[in-house]
Amino acid sequence: MSLRIQCIQTLKKILEDKVFFNTLKSDFKAQDTAFANKLILTALRRKTVIDKLINSMLVKKIPQKNKILEHVLLAGSTEILYMETPDYAVINEYVNIAKKMTDKFSSSMVNALLHKVTLHKDKMRNAVEFPKSFKQILTNDYTKEQISLMEQTLLIEPPIDLTTRENPNLWAQRLNGTLFENGTIRLNSPRTKTNCLDGFDKGAWWVQDLAASLPVCLLGDIKDKKVLDMCAAPGGKTAQLLAKGASVTALDISSERLKTLEENISRLNLNQKLKTIRADGIEYLENTSDLFDIILLDVPCSATGTFRKHPEVLFFKTLHDIKTLQNTQQKMLQTASSHIKQSGQILYCTCSISRLEGEEQIRIFLKENPNFQLFSFDDKTLHLNDGKKIDKNIFDKQVLRTLPYYNEGDGGMDSFFAARLVYKNNRRK
């Protein structure tokens, strides 16, 4: 099987079965991985505008029996418009692929369309747009200008961020990275394989997006605190908690994901104060009388805030999906609230860009639970290192809300939400 046919079939699997690219067990050869990643992720980031271009040139709709041609044209157009392969080589390759996967008539259509695509390179170079279903998620929460700024982040290759166990200044120098004020190190060579970098084998750091690292930074001194980390895998925030000296019980419903967490924490040599349990978070809390100083509630969510790194989410999630997830999030938050010690806290966070899964959930919770209050953040909360400043707009009305175009000049960040809820009912001992 040719490399490009593998890429086409991978795109088909992602878009038709709605699976994340990074969860697929790849059969790509090691030397082909970089090309495949580039082609597939670029195709997903540019899919909406490529589809519009192709549809404007089609004389008639592609028949259902030859639906694979949609993916052939998507991959071929991506390579012509955004990669360095010569046009003639791309066209020849995808015409042959169309012959193999469909018929001679279809290959002639592919040939004609891809030749037309070559004429649109200048127009398409900076063209990006979200699909309608994703825009629907954003419309009630953000202005047209904000949505446009979000779309523009699809043009930027997302950087790789690291969180260190200790000595962020030292590791920023050793890895030739940019240090942010919260201790995150942003690599200046994002294509470097992380497991080949200095410090990987020593467990000095782990990969974690700048935005995802911020919620735990907001907790302050948590040494020896008893923490429950619900939905903990793959363990980035778990590692942060342990590195700060907390005693952590980490839950996850998936045995496979929990194993990944354990392996990650073991590599970091942070497992001395860790207890892992495979369990559904709500069921676990309903069957224990334990109280915790802190419950980290990183709820199951739409993951729409990660579209920079996982552009396939743009085509998976709808407003209906988000409203369905809200019920689970509310139940988890409510259940967690009954297992907090006096003056303890819940750190509620989500990698969703939708305010329905963040700000709205907190509004509902505080209305129904007056014994909790928000712990206010300000722009001094993260001044922990002498690194690059993080956009002060991340603090919005007592909560944390990052957006993909914050610190865009430095590579941007995922969209994340976090709220720190403190229990203030004096009747609990």
Calculate what percentage of the chain has a pLDDT beyond 70.
96
Whether 120 and 251 share a structural domain: no
Residue 419 maps to which CATH number? 3.40.50.150
Angle in degrees, 0-180, between the axes of helices 33-57 and 104-117, rounded to the nearest 10: 90
pLDDT of residue 64: 86
Whether 387 and 262 share a structural domain: yes
Number of independent structural domains in the chain: 2
pLDDT of residue 282: 94
Q: Are 129 and 46 in contact (CB under 8 A)?
A: no
Q: In what order do the strands lie in the sheet with 177-179?
A: 177-179, 185-187, 161-164, 205-207
Average the pLDDT over 183-195 and give the result: 83
> pLDDT (tens digit, 9 = 90+) per residue, 38-48?
999 999 999 99
pLDDT of residue 240: 97
pLDDT of residue 396: 80
Average the pLDDT over 250-271 and give the result: 95
Peptide bond into 234 cis (omega under 30): yes
Q: Is 88 exposed, middle or buried (0-12, 13-18, 19+ CB in 10 A)?
A: exposed
Cα–Cα distance, 417 to 355 (Å, whole number): 8
pLDDT confidence band for 191 (50 / 70 / 90): low
pLDDT of residue 3: 94
pLDDT(427) > 90:
no
pLDDT of residue 428: 43
pLDDT of residue 63: 85
Q: Are 185 and 171 in contact (CB under 8 A)?
A: yes
Q: Are 416 and 400 in contact (CB under 8 A)?
A: yes
Any residues with CB less than 8 A from the CB of 2 and at least 6 apart, and which? 93, 97
> pLDDT (tens digit, 9 = 90+) per residue, 2-13?
999 999 999 999
Q: Are 309 and 360 in contact (CB under 8 A)?
A: no
Cα–Cα distance, 19 to 11 (Å, whole number): 10
Establish if 241 belongs to a structural domain: yes
pLDDT of residue 160: 94
pLDDT(25) > 90:
no
Residue 61 maps to which CATH number? 1.10.940.10
Cα–Cα distance, 244 to 216 (Å, whole number): 9
Range of the structural domain that residue 90 is part of: 3-124
Whether 100 and 226 share a structural domain: no
Average the pLDDT over 222-226 and give the result: 97
pTM summary value:
0.93
Radius of gyration of the chain (CA): 23
Instruction: Indicate the residue among 76, 100, 124 that finishes a domain.
Output: 124
Q: Which DSSP category does 180 fall into?
A: B
352/383: higher pLDDT: 352
Cα–Cα distance, 313 to 103 (Å, whole number): 32
Establish if 395 belongs to a structural domain: yes
Q: In a 3-state reduction of DSSP, which class is residue 164?
A: strand
> pLDDT (tens digit, 9 = 90+) per residue, 370-382?
999 998 776 666 6
> pLDDT (tens digit, 9 = 90+) per residue, 281-298?
999 999 999 999 999 999
pLDDT(383) > 90:
no
> pLDDT (tens digit, 9 = 90+) per residue, 132-160?
999 999 999 999 999 999 999 999 999 99
Average the pLDDT over 205-220 and give the result: 94
Average the pLDDT over 404-419 and give the result: 96
Establish if 201 belongs to a structural domain: no
Cα–Cα distance, 113 to 103 (Å, whole number): 16
Instruction: Indicate the residue among 73, 97, 124 that finishes a domain.
Output: 124
Instruction: Indicate the residue among 62, 96, 124 that finishes a domain.
Output: 124
pLDDT confidence band for 193 (50 / 70 / 90): confident
Average the pLDDT over 189-218 and give the result: 90
pLDDT of residue 379: 61
Choose among 333, 268, 235, 311: nearest CA to 46.
Answer: 311
Angle, CA of 340, 341 and 344, to the nearest 5°: 80
What is the distance, to the nearest Å, from the Cα of residue 89 to the centroid of all Cα atoms in its chain? Answer: 34
pLDDT(426) > 90:
no
391: left (phi over 0), alpha (psi -120 to 50) or beta: beta
> pLDDT (tens digit, 9 = 90+) per residue, 337-365?
999 999 999 999 999 999 999 999 999 99
Calculate what percentage of the chain has a pLDDT beyond 90.
85
Whether 230 and 100 share a structural domain: no
Whether 240 and 376 share a structural domain: yes
Q: Is 405 exposed, middle or buried (0-12, 13-18, 19+ CB in 10 A)?
A: buried
209 token code pair: 């997006």
314/190: higher pLDDT: 314
Q: How far is CA 262 from CA 259, 266, 283, 285, in A?
A: 5, 6, 21, 21
Average the pLDDT over 399-411 and give the result: 96
